[in-house]
Amino acid sequence: MVPPGYTHIWDCCCDHGLLGAALLFDQAAPHIHFVDVLPGLINQLNEKLQRFYPVADYSWHTHCLDTAALPLEHYPGKHLIIIAGVGGELITRFIQEIHRTHPGAQLDFLLCPVHQEYDLRQQLIALDFRLKEEVLLSDNQRFYEVLLVSADQKGIAEWHKISPVGDKIWQAGTPAQESIARRYLHKTLKHYQNSQKGSADNAREAIDAYRAVTISTGGL
């Protein structure tokens, strides 16, 4: 889900750097950036990168800072910002701040929230972002929505409106995909039904939206 054409790719909340390292190995962009707020993690990552990806052969940068404070102004070109492994509420804060402080930048985001997917989608819609791709994955008994979205108003017609609950993730081309979609829909509805008991503000709205979902099996 990382298309070609980016000058800089930012692996934010990079943890141990495995995703960024894979992008380095594949030469996915001229410059790969690793971002995390923990100094100890960045120090360890620097050592590993210098050992396995010497700067003479690879162009990488590490940044110990809050993802909301990415210094994009110092790196001209088209950017893909990857934010994964954190909740939708935190991702929303990152995106809102980055979008506010870099209004003219060419920005795409590849997002994989660990929860609060519905809330994140609401905020992306409010920001008038557009969708290029979305997939639903299952790994280690957990489900993940992955969204490739854009804040770049140039060429925005090539992208699609973002659905509050997803569109393509419910289009199953194989029996395995259908199983993942049905299990994820059941799990999500159960979550919001439980949230409704606790008087969550948007639970009723989310329940109605997910109940309206139809899983397309593509003739399976």
The sign of the CA dihedral 84, 107, 161, 135 is negative
H helix or E strand, kind and range, residue 157? none
What is the model's pLDDT at position 156? 60
Q: CA distances (Å), 102 to each of 141, 151, 189, in order? A: 37, 10, 36
What is the model's pLDDT at position 43? 96
What is the model's pLDDT at position 202? 79
What is the model's pLDDT at position 154? 67
What is the model's pLDDT at position 56? 86
What is the model's pLDDT at position 200? 60
What is the model's pLDDT at position 32? 97
What is the model's pLDDT at position 151? 86
Q: What is the pLDDT of residues 146-160, one digit of tens each?
A: 999 998 766 666 688
What is the model's pLDDT at position 67? 97
Whether the CB-CB separation of 8 and 29 falls below 8 Å is answered with yes
Mean of pLDDT values over 82-98: 96
Whether the CB-CB separation of 21 and 52 falls below 8 Å is answered with yes
Sequence-separated (6 or more) residues with CB below 8 Å from residue 27:
none
Mean of pLDDT values over 33-40: 96
What is the model's pLDDT at position 220? 56
What is the model's pLDDT at position 195? 79
Whether pLDDT at 4 is above 90:
yes
Whether pLDDT at 182 is above 90:
yes
What is the model's pLDDT at position 63? 97
pLDDT averaged over the chain?
92
